[in-house]
Each structure stands twice: as C-alpha cells, then as structure tokens.
Amino acid sequence: MIVLPREESMREAMLTAAVRRGFLEFQDELIRVQQGLVGEFYVDRQWDDMRLHEPYFLLHDFQTPSHQIDTIFLCNKFLLILEIKNIVGHIEIDSTTHQFTRKLKDGTVQGFRNPLNQAQRHQRMLAQCIPMLPILYVVVLAHPKTVIERIPQNAPIIHSSGLEFYVCELLSSFPPLLTNEQLDQLLQQLLQMQVSLKPKLNIDVSLMRGGVLCHRCTRQMHYQHGDFICSACVLKDDDTLLRRALSDYCLLVDEWISNGQFRTFLGIDSIHAAKRLLKKLGLPYTGEKRFRKYHILWNRQ
C-alpha cells in the first residue's frame, strides 16, 4: 500500500524554469534529475506487479530536513531503504576507496556519489529513531542495461527486475516483530518526520530572462491589445504561456507578485493593462491599491 506517493518533482520544475529563463549552467543537472525520475518511476511500476502476501507500506520521496530517501518499504519485520539509480553503462565500486564509477562504451569514465554510502547515511538516521526494527538498504539499478562490473562482496546492489525476489527473500528470512497496531504507530511516526522542502537554486534573479516566451521559437512574445503574440511565429497565447511564465516566476523568484513586478517581468508598460490581465487570470490577492500582491501557484505543465 502506497502511503506517500511520489510527487512530481519540484526540483525538476525549478531546473526546467531556470534553463528556460537563461540559466544554462543548470542544463546538466536538469538532465541528471530527469534521468533519476525516469528510474524512480520505472522501479515504482515494479511494485504494482508484485504479489507480496504480507501487508506493507511504501513511502516514496521520503524527506527530512537532512535526508531524501527514494523509497521506504515498511513491514512488521523490517524497514528497507531503496536508493534508486538510473545509470547506463558499466558500473564499478572500489571497495577500498569507495569510489563509484561508470564506464561508457566509448571508454569515458565518470565518478558519482557512492549510492551505498548514501544509503548507509539514511540507515544510521532511521536506526536511531526506529530501534524496534532492523533497518536494511538496497541500491536498485533502474536501467536494465546497466552492467555491474566490480562491487564490494555482498554489497546490496540489484537490478530492478530482481526487486521482487529480493524483497521476498527478506520477508522469508525475518520474523514478525510488530503487531498491526505497532506497525501503524511506526508508520505515523515516519509520516510525522516527513517534510516537504522547497529546493533552492543559487541564481541571480536580476539576470533572469523575463517575458512570456513562445513555446515554438522561445522568443519573448509582445503584448498587444490584451494578447501576447510572437511576431516570428504569428502565434497568439491563450494564457497558457502567460501562466507558465508566472509559474517560472513563482519557482525562481517568489510566489507573490505585485503589479509593478508583473509589468517588469513581462514587459508591459501600462499599469491598467497589467491590472486587467491579473484580473483575468483570477489570482488570489492580498492588500489594497499599490500594496496589493497576487498569489501565483506553481503550475505543472
């Protein structure tokens, strides 16, 4: 049973907004985050097909102020931490240096954070708060073409296709330790530890590219008689791109915007035109006259 579903990643949305707004230094990180999400969703689907004959809970994207765990599997016998990696190529972990590397077909070697060390860090934290259950961890390689070359002996690293077998083996080797009531209490304890943190990007917002951006050619659209129009594509926005622009503002700058900030960001001269647009968008607001601020919501598109 999934008690904490995987939320659409705010970090991915922020990075996408940052790249769209001219901060190209985040492009590589965006690709990495997107690959990670593909891996997590791939592994999530494995649970749907599994036939486990014991009650269990799944907590995806479990976050505390200092830990972010891809998935927690909780049952009355143990708690299993899943560290999910979506990495293509041949991977290797040096048992002495702990370095985690992957080699691509063309011979390129790249280093990554060691997922075993990451999982052990989570394990130590959870073991302190949950002394009543064994806290286990496993690194799950989501990509079916990842080749495990050399890893420390008995290191818990598996391919996602082996997840069901791995979990069943664990279920048959541990005795039940909690009653249903105790398990429920533990679940509540975990849910209380969970926080949703807004990620932060280190950007200089004064360098941010403003405007409603054309989704075909990415040029800034011009405001004309109540509409945003791309002069190159002759495309008229039906408010979708305007809402996306405001969503970018919300993710990168602030969730509140004044009429003045709205005009500066979107390149509109008239205070009245801006007021009409803001009214049309139906954004909730607070304050009166020049102190009025409109609340923008993060709009997933």
- Give the binding site for Zn ion (CB under 5 A): 214, 216-217, 219, 230, 232-233
Q: Which residues contact 92 (CB under 8 A, 6 or more apart)?
A: 100, 101, 102, 103, 149, 150, 151
Looking at the Cβ atoms of 82 and 230, the one nearer to Zn ion is: 230
Which of 162, 267 has the CB closer to Zn ion? 267
Cβ proximity to Zn ion, 221 vs 246, nearer residue: 221
> Is the Cβ–Cβ distance between 141 and 158 less than 8 Å?
yes
**Cα 21 from Cα 17, distance rounded (Å):** 6
Integer Cα distance of 229 and 300 in angstroms = 22
Nearest-approach distance from CB 230 to Zn ion, in angstroms = 3
Sequence-distant (≥ 6) Cβ neighbours of residue 128 within 8 angstroms: none
Burial degree of 192 (CB within 10 A; 0-12, 13-18, 19+): exposed
Report, in Å, the least distance between residue 135 CB and Zn ion: 53
* E strand map for 54-164: 57-64, 67-74, 79-85, 90-93, 100-103, 109-112, 135-141, 147-150, 157-159
Least Cβ distance, residue 56 to Zn ion (angstroms): 50
Q: Which is nearer to Zn ion, 218 or 301 (CB)?
A: 218
Please give the Cα distance from 48 to 39 (Å, whole number): 15
| H-state helical runs in 180-239 | 180-193
Looking at the Cβ atoms of 39 and 211, the one nearer to Zn ion is 211
Q: Give me the least distance between CB of 218 and Zn ion, in Å please.
A: 7
**Which is closer to Zn ion, CB of 203 or CB of 214?**
214
Q: How far is the CB of 75 from Zn ion (least distance, A)?
A: 53
Give me the count of residues in the chain: 301
d(CA 66, CA 286) in angstroms, rounded, equals: 34
Q: Which is nearer to Zn ion, 216 or 279 (CB)?
A: 216
Q: Which amino acid is at 130?
A: I
